[in-house]
Every structure is written in structure tokens, then in C-alpha cells.
Structure 1
Amino acid sequence: MNVSIVIPNFNGEKFLIDCLTTLKEQSYQDYETILVDNGSTDDSIKLALEIMPEINCLLLDENKGFSAAVNQGILNSKGKYVALLNNDTLLTVKWLENLLACIESDENVFSCSSKMIQFHDNKLIDNAGDAFTVFGWAYQEGHGENINKYLDNRYIFTSCAGAAIYRREVFDKIGYFDEQFFAYLEDVDIGYRARIEGYDNLYCAESIIYHIGSATTGNGYNSVKVKLSARNNVYLLYKNMLGIQLLLNAPFLIVGHLFKYQFYKKIGFQKEYSEGIRQGITNRKNLTKTEFKISNMRNYVSIQYWLIKKGLQYGIVKIKKMLKLKNDI
């Protein structure tokens, strides 16, 4: 078994038909499928077994979040590589074949991210790799841009776990998805940890999927998503940045926080954002910080350069957009 495909699910019955059907039609067939169910109350499991009788269903007794679900899938996987897949996706026929070829092209690659296209407007990109900036902002590269862009493979900060492949053996070195995150930014965290250890993450332009987006937690902004994202942003910084990095980046992080607060204030979620930040600061000591190794110092420097570069490319533009934010957003 070369690839294990792990699909976390929570009441995703209406999405699984298209997801599993297009998975069965893949040009590459040497894979196993593991559906990890987070205590669904619908007929997800029954439907999954009807579509794919050979599927391995792992049943959790309650909704333990994305991180816990995919960790269970990874721990029960047999493949050399593990592909994570959201249940609200539709796959093109060569999605897995191209993703596998990408990660096999370089032994130093930890993960490869798909070209995710918006399901409801298939002329626009949903995600072409996750980025992170010195302002403390994580964002989806290419989001909202024309699908005729991002046509070449390239290095990215981290892969979006909604449709990505990972080198199984690296998890044993850097750890698994942090279950303290529950959901949101856990994929940025694990990609960050891999980069600290000197691994690369790639974007695979020919591995194409269509993504509905936030099918479980809801589209757009909502109180749960805002609070979790704000909290996990603090977790992400605390876990992975050295103390000297936090001091060096503090002015940028403060500016990033202030503009985020103003953004959420304009759309009515400033309380949730502030509460998320408070929870992150309060609960940070429950986290396991990424172990510092002097041998990784060069990687920390490389990451710092990346954060500044992305901050200049994206952060300033984002700030301008926030200042001009209209009430209809």
C-alpha cells in the first residue's frame, strides 16, 4: 500500500457522494481510504460503505476536531504517504497521481498541496498553498484569483490539509497534528515545524480539486471560526517562534493584531476575536513548544526571511484593503 487517504468527517453525508465517487475514479489506484468520523448523527457511515465497501471507517464517540480525527487516521494508516482530504471536495481524475509524483520528486519534501478551485465559481482559485507573514497572518495564496494563474509548481510555506499529501515517516520526527488546535491553522503549524527541521513544502499545480469550503463549520465568518482562528494564531506563534524572534517581530505582530481587530470590528466579530486572543495567551502553557536545536538555526533564519518577504508582498496590501473595507463584506 503506497498511499493512505484520510478523510475526516462530521455530518458530511451530503458531501461524501461526490467526494468518494471521484476518489474511486482516480487514475492511480494503489491506495487505501480511511474515513474518520467525528461522532456524526447522520447516515455518513452507511452512505460511505455503500459507495466504497472497502473503506475503513474509524468511529470517534464525539466531535474531537480536525486534528484529532486526522491523527487517528494517520496512526491507523499503512501507506508510505498519507493524503488528507476534506469531505467537501470533488477530485479530478489525476489528482492523486500528480500529487504523488510531486512528493516523490524530492526526498526532502514533507508535503505537497493541491490546486484548490472554488466549487461555486470554478474560474477562481480557492487555495494555492498556505502562507504566513511577519504580521502573524496566515492566508491562502491565490484565493479569489483566476484559475489561469499559479500554473507552476513552487515552494510554499505550508500545505493546506484540505487536500495535501504528506511523507509518513516525517510525522515520527516532528510529531502529529496538534490536537490543542482542534481546527484551523493546525496545518500551518505542522508545516512550520517541518520547515524548522529543514523540510520543504511544495504546491502541485497539476493536482486539481474543487472545494466547497467550510462545509462543516459554515462559510464566511462566524463566531466559532473567528474565535478558534484567533486563539490558534497565538498558539502558532508561541509554539514555533524563538523568544528572540517574538521580540524582533513584536512591532509587526502588534500592528497585525490591531488591524485584525479593526477588521473584525467592522464585521461585528471583535468580541470573538478578542476572546480568542485571550484564550490563546491564557492557554499557551498547555502547548508543547517546538524543540529548539542549534542545528536548526539556519532554518529559523530562512523562515524569518520568508515571513518578512511575505509580509512585504501581502501584509501591506491587506492593511490597505482593511482600511477601505466596505460594509457589504
Structure 2
Amino acid sequence: MDKVAVVIPNYNGYRYLETCFAALAKQTFTEFTTYFVDNGSQDESCAFLREHYPETKIIQLDDNYGFSRAVNEGIRRSKEPYVILLNNDTEVFPDFVERLYEGICKRKNAFACSAKLISYQERDKIDDAGNYYNMLGWAFARGKGKPVSEFETSDRIFAACAGAAIYRREFLEKTGLFDEEHFAYLEDTDIGYRARLLGYENWYEPSAKVYHVGSGTSGSRYNLFKIRYSSRNNIYLIYKNMPVLQILLNLPVFILGFSAKLVFFASKGYGKEYLAGIKNGFFICRKPENRAKKIRFEWKRLGTYFVIEWELFINVFRRFLERA
């Protein structure tokens, strides 16, 4: 059995596949199997792979079930002890798999290691160097738009960016897989948060490099789908992962953060969509199956709650410093 499963979710991403798979074919590390999970595409994605990359294991779903369901199908079908999740709109460097594998193996408590995602269009700029989450209720890509040269050091992060990251299967069995209620957006922050609550770590591995187009499936940076699902999932993420007392403690800051986002998106013409997403977020929190997913308060985790709360506070300043 190979050591690594590379799981690639896809929805009508045919135009990206030649670049993505040609780069995977040049890897220095060869002990991996590629699982391609197709979300009911209407294009030539699967036909292309059958013709040009027949060794790829193709999992075809009958509809578009979103990112979380797609990667979960790939994780379940694979058996390798490590799982790399990779977006279809990427071009990995030749040692990408090797560097991620080495990065997680040398950190015994690592739940995930996030790669260095570099902008495909501006190749001297970072697209994502790991995910942060802060007390304002904002999830953001670390380093976005900054020079690549500023992110050469490995570091702990709040969560890995699931667009290019490796996960330890042993720990996935403890945290559970990606929450399919998320459909798309913040699912990687959610699972990273769950891992942190269990005492695991998430790391940024700068030696594993990949070019990333960005919004390859959803389209533009700001669109109705992305704004609605991001705001919806943010409410759900907070409800699910934070004890009630922590939510109440941070409530004034959450209100400030969500209000600032509302003003921003209203200025872009998306105010109604942002509010609709928040409303839907409260609705899905009331669903019995989602209430059952809420992580219960445990006294033995008290120290972890304080560590995370401090990190959420510090990340407010990190957000504004990165914008400076």
C-alpha cells in the first residue's frame, strides 16, 4: 500500500486538469495514489482522466454535493495513512508530495500541514500560508498578497488550508471527517478547530509549494454563492466549536466583526446575501443533527480553551498587521 492518498475534488474543472495532473506526474515521491472525486460534472473531466491518466482512481458522484462531501468520499475510499487534499486549480512543484509527507512525519502531534500556496497569476505573491481565525469571527488566509520571500519559515497555524494540505488519518479518525453541512467554505477551519480542541497541532510547511489559481470552481473572489455560504458557515462554526460561555464572552466582539463585514459587503452590493447567510446559519444550528455535533464543554480541556481564546485575540492584530 502507498503511504499517501492525494484526493482531488472536482466540479466542471476540466480546464484545469491537464496542468494539475501533469505536475503530479513529475513528483519526486512516488508512493502515492490519486483519488479524483467528481461532483456530478457536466464537462469532460472524467473522460479526460480515463484517457490520459488511467491510473487515477475516479469516484463519480451523481450530483454536486460540495467540497466536504467530495473529499470525505475520497478519504473513506482510500486507506493510505496520510491524505493530501488538493484543489483542481493548482500546479504543484516536483517535490510537493515529498515535502508535505516529510513535514507531517517529523511532527508527531501534527493533525495537518498546510502547503505554501502561491498565486498562479502573481508568482511572487502568497495566496495562502495557512488559515487563521480571530475573535471578530473572521477566517482569513495568512499572508495573502504578501511577498513569497516573507513566508520561508515553518510555523504553527490555526488550521490548514484544505486546498493543499496533508492530514494524518489516525487523527482524522479522532476528529471525524469534514462536516458536510458546510458544503463549501470554512470546512477546513472547522476541522482544524476540532483538532485543536483535541490537543493536536496544525503547521505551515513552506517547502511544499504549489501555484493556485483561486476560486477555480466558484468563480470570482466575491460572488453570491461564496458570500452566502461563508457567512452561514461562520455562524455554524462558532456555535459548534465554542462552549456557550466562550460565545457569550466574545459576543460583543462577534457583533462588531459581523457588523463590519456587513458594511463591507453592502458597499460591494452584497449586503442582502450576507444577511441571508447569517440567517441561514442560525437556522442550521437548530437542526437536531447539527445540535448533536456541538462539541461539549469538558473541564479537562479548560487549558486548551484559554490557549485558543488567546490565539483568537492575537489573530485580530495579525489580521490588521497583514493588511498594513
CA distance in 1, matches of 2:52, 2:20: 10
Match for residue 75 of structure 2? Answer: 74
Q: Is the 8 A contact 2:243 2:296 kept in 1?
A: no
Structure 2 SS opposite 1:189: helix
How many residues of Structure 1 are paired with residues of Structure 2 in the alignment?
Answer: 319
What is the match of residue 285 of structure 2? Answer: 284
SS in 1 for 2:149: coil
The structural deviation recorded for 1:293 is: 2.8
Partner of 1:327: none
CA–CA distance in structure 1, aligned partners of residues 94 and 24 of structure 2: 8
Residue 96 (structure 1) aligns with? 97
Offset of 1:316 from its aligned partner? Answer: 8.0
Q: Secondary structure at the match of 2:205?
A: strand
Instruction: Show the 5 A alignment for 1:227-306.
Output: 227-286=228-287, 287=290, 288-306=293-311
**Alpha-carbon deviation of 1:125?**
0.5
Separation in 1, partners of 2:304, 2:88: 34
Residue 317 (structure 2) aligns with: 312
Give the CA deviation at 1:317. Answer: 7.5
CA distance in 1 between partners of 2:211 and 2:297 (Å):
38
Deviations 1:161-209 (A, max 9, x none): 0000000111111111000000000000000000000000000011000
The letter of the residue matching 1:154 is D
**Residues 20 and 88 of structure 2 are in contact (CA less than 8 Å); yes or no, is this contact kept in structure 1?**
yes
Q: Provide the rounded CA distance (Å) in 2 between the counterparts of 1:313 and 1:170.
A: 28
The residue number in structure 1 matching 2:14 is 13
Q: Stretches of 4+ moved more than 4 A in 1? A: 315-318
Q: What whole-Å deviation, never above 9, does each CA across 1:251-292 have from its counterpart, x for those lacking one?
A: 110100110000001100000000000000111122211243
Q: TM-score, normalised by structure 1?
A: 0.95
The Cα of 1:15 is off from its aligned counterpart by 0.3
2:125 alignment partner in structure 1: 124
CA distance in 2, matches of 1:173, 1:55: 28
Label 1:19 to 1:271 Cα distance change in 2 as closer, same or farther (>3 A). Answer: same
Which amino acid is the alignment partner of residue 310 of structure 1?
N
- Tell me if the contact between 1:135 and 1:315 (Cα under 8 Å) persists in the aligned partners: no
State yes or no: 1:142 paired with 2:147.
no
- 1:264 counterpart letter in structure 2: F
8 Å contact from structure 1 (residues 135, 255) kept in 2: yes
Report the Cα distance in structure 2 between the residues aligned to 1:313 and 1:63, rounded to whole angstroms: 35
- Please, which moves more after superposition, 73-82 or 287-296? 287-296
Alpha-carbon distance in structure 2 between the residues aligned to 1:37 and 1:290: 31
Q: Which residue of 2 aligns with 1:26?
A: 27
Q: For 2:52 and 2:302, how far apart are their aligned partners in 1?
A: 49
Report if aligned partners of 2:136, 2:253 keep a CA contact under 8 Å in 1: yes
8 Å Cα contact 1:13/1:44 also seen in 2: yes
Cα–Cα, structure 1 residues 292 and 174, in superposed 2: closer, same or farther, change >3 Å? farther
Deviation at 1:78, TM superposition (A): 1.6
Q: CA RMSD in A?
A: 1.2
Q: Deviations over 1:8-48 (max 9, x none)?
A: 00111110111011001110000010000000111101111
| Equivalent position of 1:47 in the other structure | 48
Per-residue deviation, 1:133: 0.3
Shift of 1:50: 2.3
Letter in 1 for 2:195: A
What SS class does the counterpart of residue 35 from structure 1 fall into? strand
What amino acid does structure 1 have at the position aligned with 2:39? N
Aligned to 1:35: 36
- In structure 1, the partner of 2:220 is 219
Partner secondary structure for residue 148 of structure 1:
helix
* Contact 2:143 2:322 survives alignment (8 Å): no
Cα deviation, residue 313, structure 1: 2.8
- Show structure 2 runs of 5+ residues with no match: none
- Return the offset for 1:294: 2.4
CA distance in 2, matches of 1:168, 1:316: 35
Structure 1 stretches lacking a partner, 5+ long: 322-329
Matched AA of 1:4: A
For 1:64 and 1:317, how far apart are their aligned partners in 2? 34
Letter of the 2:73 counterpart: Q
Letter in 2 for 1:69: A
Aligned-residue sequence identity (percent) comes to: 42
